[in-house]
Structures are given as structure tokens and as C-alpha cells.
Amino acid sequence: MLLNEIVDQIPNINKCLHRGKTLIIRIDINSPIVNGKIVDDFRIRMHAYTLRVASEAGTKVVVLAHQGRPGQDDFTSLDLHKPYIEKYLEKPIKFVDDVIGPEARRQIRELREGEILLLENVRVLAEEVIEKVPEAQADTFLVRKLAPLADYFVFDGFAVAHRSQPSVVGFPMVLPSCAGPVFERELRALGAVFEKKGRGVVLMAGGAKIPDTLKAVEQLLKNGFVEKVAVGGLVGFVFAVAKHGVLNTALKQVVEQGGYLPYIDKAKQLLAKYGGQIHTPVDFAVNQNGRMDMDVYSLAQSPLDIGRLTILAFKELVDQSELVIFSGPMGYIEDERFAAGTMELLKAAARRKLILGGGHTIMAAEKAGVLDKAFHVSTGGRAFIQTIGGEEMPAVKALLTSARKFKL
């Protein structure tokens, strides 16, 4: 069954919009945070539309979301996100420093039509970061405490759709549930990629999430959903070392200190199997009296961007493609000297059907002036790639189960 046909079986948000009813909406506003400040609010902007639609329909809106993971630097209160939501909604919302306690439940009961209540970071609950089957998640404190206070559940958080967590799959087991507009758009964009069956599809994979990207590259090539892959960023560095075996004393120290050694072995395996389809950098830019390009054999320090020859080679790949999936920057885009690879390739990709994913990629696309030229901008980033690669989406299964059970 085609993905679009599956999406058609899940009720959209309109089926859950009834004046005076209480909606629990799971969104994903997990945002890049630097020095305690949100540096990219793209996801918040996208989900503000969903909240506006629900509020204007006269429903009582309860918002579930997360930021970071316990123990990570970006694990913060959602009080930080409240003014951003209000900015894009152009109206005030309520916030409670609680998720399932008496105060949260009291405020949910007292909501009026059109009001929006943002609950605290759902990951303050230990059970939220544990993955289990939906039936088990329906029996968590989160679902047992909040579901009786609501009439409907709306899932809109595509970036967590691949997590079988209580706030994702638990509520659909016990409440009539709908897909939010952000989630529905993501699924239909995925459908467009699946229909291409790899023909003319190029993945530009960069960034620093090396294990996730290696896994995604393997799955995409194995399942035939992309024809070619071009790698940059730290991922490209790992592949270049794997391909050329360039480990002089200085570079070996960089690799060991970064903990990249195990990934180099995995990259070698992928190159042995899919070498003709994986395109690696032939040169890199380093910080040496400003920007300096070096070929892979001369490299003796951490690269900060792909070099000029690699940019030209990757541009050629883009020009030969029909659809480009761009996930992760090619370099350290926070420094303009090392943003050239990302910017130039984004501009080239914008002349094709372009799908963008990931916070840093979206930031770069805005700077490059191509965000509005993209066919689709994914809120999921790596989740989008993983889903194309064949990773199951528990959220979709849970929503289909709910649709059969409650027949909205």
C-alpha cells in the first residue's frame, strides 16, 4: 500500500475539532539551544499553525512537547519556548510547571474555549524516555492521568514519530485520535520520495551525527530509495579517511580524540558494498591563517568545510539529479568562512526538487535564501531520513489502530 493511501486512513485534525472539547496535542518544538537561548525556532513556527487552527475552532488545547533529554545541556523547561509560541500565535498562552500533577490537571479542567495550555517538558517523566509497545504505554501515569481529561488526541510531532513513547503511542490506544497538519504534510512528502523509487534521488548528508547518518545511508542504499549519496561535515571526514586511509600522526590524534575510529570501520564496510554510489570529499577547508583548502592526503587537522574541488563535484551530482534530500550542513556554518560548501550546494539544490531536514540545514537554507524554494521542509530532520530508509514509525501504526477502534 502506498504511503498516501495509508495517510488517507488516518483522520485529519478536522475530525477532532469540536467546539468546547478538550484536545491533547503532541507537537515537537525541540529546538537548537546555545547559551540558554533558542537559536532556531522553525519547528515552533510550524506547530503554531496547528495550535492556531485548534484554538480558532473553539477547542480547549493542551500541549505536550519536549526539549532535549535528561542529562543533556539542552534539557530545559518549556517556559523558554512559551514566548516564541505566543509570538507566532499573536496571542497569549498559559504555561504550567507540571505535567501530570494536581496543578496541571486543575488547569486542564479549567480551560475555556480557545485557550491553550502548554505543559512542562514531558521528558521530566522518566517513563517518557522508555520505549515499549503502545498497549504498555497506554498504561503509563502520563496517559492514565491525562487521557480522562481529554476528548481527543492529535499527533503532530513528526520528529518523534519513530519513538514508541507514551506521548506518541499511548494516547491513541485510549482516545479518538487525528493526525495534525504538520505530521500529515511530512507523510505526504515521504510518499513523493517513495514514488521515485530512488530514480534521480540524491542524498546530501552532512552534520555531526555520525552513527545516525551511517545507519541512514546504509538503509537508503539497501532499500533503493536513493541513487547516490554525497557526504560532508564530520560524516564526510569519516568517509574520506575510510576511503583514502589518510591517517598521519596528527590526523590519527584527531580521529582518536573525536572517537571516530569505530565509525571509520563502518564507513569502510559501506564503501566496500556501495562505493560507486557514495561520493566522498577529495579536499577540505581548514582554519590556517583564515580558510585554506587541502586535499585529503595533506590534511593534518580537523576539517571545517568541504573544499572547492569537492563543492564542484557535488554540484555536478546535484545538477544530474531530479530530487535532492539535504540533511546536515557540509561544514561549520556558524563561521561564515566555512559555510561556502553548504550555501553553494543549497543554492544548486534549490534548482531541483529539494527536501530539507534538520535544524542547522534549515538555518543555512534561510541564510542562503532558498527556504521558500524547497519542495518540502521537514521538521524531522534525521527522522525523515530514517523513515525513508525503512525505519518503522510507531506513531503511524498507533494512529491507524486508533482509527479502526474509534471510527471517527
Angle ∠(371,205,230) on CA atoms, nearest 5: 110
Contacts by 246-252 with C-beta closer than 8 Å and gap 24+?
246/296, 246/297, 246/299, 248/300, 250/300, 250/301, 251/299, 251/300, 251/301
Answer yes or no: is 69 a known binding residue.
yes
Neighbour-count burial of 304, counting CB atoms closer than 10 A to its CB (0-12 exposed, 13-18 middle, 19+ buried):
buried
Residue 337 assigned as binding residue: no
401 is in an annotated binding site: no
Consult the annotation and say whether 123 binds a ligand: yes
109 labelled binding-site residue = no
361 is in an annotated binding site: yes
pLDDT for position 384: 76
pLDDT per position as a tens digit, 77-115: 999 999 999 999 999 999 999 999 999 999 999 999 999
The answer to the question of whether 352 is labelled as a binding residue is: no
Kindly give the parts of the chain with pLDDT less than 50. Answer: none
Q: Annotated binding residue at 163? A: yes
Domain span(s) for CATH 3.40.50.1260 in the chain:
3-181+392-406, 197-374
302: which 3 cell numbers?
A: 580537523
Q: Is 223 annotated as a binding residue?
A: no
pLDDT at 135: 97
> Which letter does DSSP use for residue 300 in this model?
-
- The reported pLDDT for the residue numbered 381 is 67
CATH topology of domain 3-181+392-406: Rossmann fold (3.40.50)
pLDDT score of 114: 98
Q: pLDDT for 126-159, tens place per residue?
A: 999 999 999 999 999 999 999 999 999 999 999 8
* 265 annotated as belonging to a binding site for a ligand: no
Q: Which CATH number fits domain 197-374: 3.30.1300.10, 3.40.50.1260, 3.40.50.720, 3.30.70.20?
A: 3.40.50.1260
Say what the pLDDT of residue 385 is.
75
Which residue in the block uniquely carries the three cell numbers 518523534?
Answer: 160
> Is 93 known as a binding-site position?
no
Q: What pLDDT, in 10s, does the model give residues 210-232?
A: 988 898 899 899 989 899 999 99
Is residue 29 part of an annotated ligand binding site?
yes
The residues that bridge with 26 in the sheet, in sequence order, are: 64, 155
| Contact by Cβ (8 Å): 201, 225 | yes
- 387 marked as part of a ligand binding site: no
User: Measured between alpha carbons, how far is residue 219 from residues 39, 325, 354 in Å?
Assistant: 31, 15, 20
The pLDDT value given to residue 1 = 54
